[in-house]
Amino acid sequence: MGSAKAALEWHGSTLLRRVTGVVARALDGPVFVVRAAGQPLPALAPGVEVIEDPAEGLGPLQGMAVGLARRPGSGAETAFVCSTDLPFLHAAFVARVVRAMAPGAAAVLPIARGHRQPLAAAYATALAPVAADLVAQRRLRPAFLFDERVVVQLDDAALLADPLLARLDPDLDSVVNLNTPLEYDAARRRPAPPVRVERFGTLAADGHRGPRDVRAATLAGAAAAVDRHVVAALNGDHISRDPDLPLVRGDTVAFLAADAGG
């Protein structure tokens, strides 16, 4: 890419802030970011834990070994693992993949848009020592994790058998990654996700009653349609003032003036 992908601007936020926020929205558990020792990162949401990777230059499998080893401390047996360069990742995709983990399976591997997607997949946290052993042997491809293990594979049809995912990400853009400036520029030119804005209290005055459809990738982007200091309820249950909270296709954001509702 020529520059750090994590810090690339994305509709007023960054790629890393967006991806971590989408994963956090999809799963009830901690979110970890594995970085090279001392690697600068853009701002992250409170609660996202940064883990230092002591070994540089060994690729994603090394990062997975470090991250999966930390995951058991959270009590979770399954981790969704993804790269930072998935700007169209949808929470419905993350949830679909994690739900497919079966007893005795080592991983859930999407085979989407014609390719294996090991960096948008779910893994058993018990694979941490296996990943570490592979790195020690310099067998650095994530595909080696799948050798002689039970792996649930989800092709396009299996993924889109989930009606929610089929409605919200029918083209499986969740797995579109960015490797070059041209790819980034093309992706950045795409419009922000379509979301619905609703106004309540004093915001609903002056002829603004009723929902409004807008394009917004963050809560701040949606709030620009309101132009007031507001409190937001995302999809009816998540209250937030975080301007960088990522939004995805199908979201409904209800706004209430902060001076009227706390």
Same domain, 166 and 110: yes
Nearest-angstrom CA–CA distance, 59 and 145: 14
Q: Characterize 54-68 residue by residue with b for buried, 16 or more Cβ atoms within 10 angstroms of its Cβ, and e for exposed.
A: eeeeeebbbbbbbbb
* Domain finish residue from 158, 185, 212: 185
Model-level pTM?
Answer: 0.90
Residue 165 has φ and ψ, to the nearest 5°, of -65, -40
Same domain, 74 and 161: yes
Quick one: what percent of the chain has pLDDT higher than 90?
Answer: 65
Looking at residue 100, its amino acid is: A
Residue 31 has φ and ψ, to the nearest 5°, of -115, 130
Block residue for tokens 């901690």? 30
* Domain finish residue from 185, 218, 239: 185
The tokens for 209 are 């009653």
Same domain, 199 and 152: no
Domain extent at residue 212: 194-261
Q: What's the CATH number where 143 sits? A: 3.90.550.10
* Domain finish residue from 151, 185, 219: 185
Same domain, 50 and 11: yes
Same domain, 237 and 134: no
pLDDT tens for the 262 residues of the chain, in order: 888 899 999 999 999 999 999 999 998 888 999 998 888 999 999 889 999 988 777 788 999 999 998 865 556 789 999 999 999 999 999 999 999 999 999 999 999 999 999 999 999 999 999 999 999 999 988 889 998 899 999 999 999 999 999 999 999 999 999 999 999 999 999 999 999 988 776 555 555 566 789 999 999 898 886 665 566 778 877 777 788 999 999 999 888 766 544 4
Block residue for tokens 């085979």? 111
Q: What's the CATH number where 238 sits? A: 3.10.20.30
Q: How many domains does the chain have?
A: 2
| pLDDT score, position 262 | 43
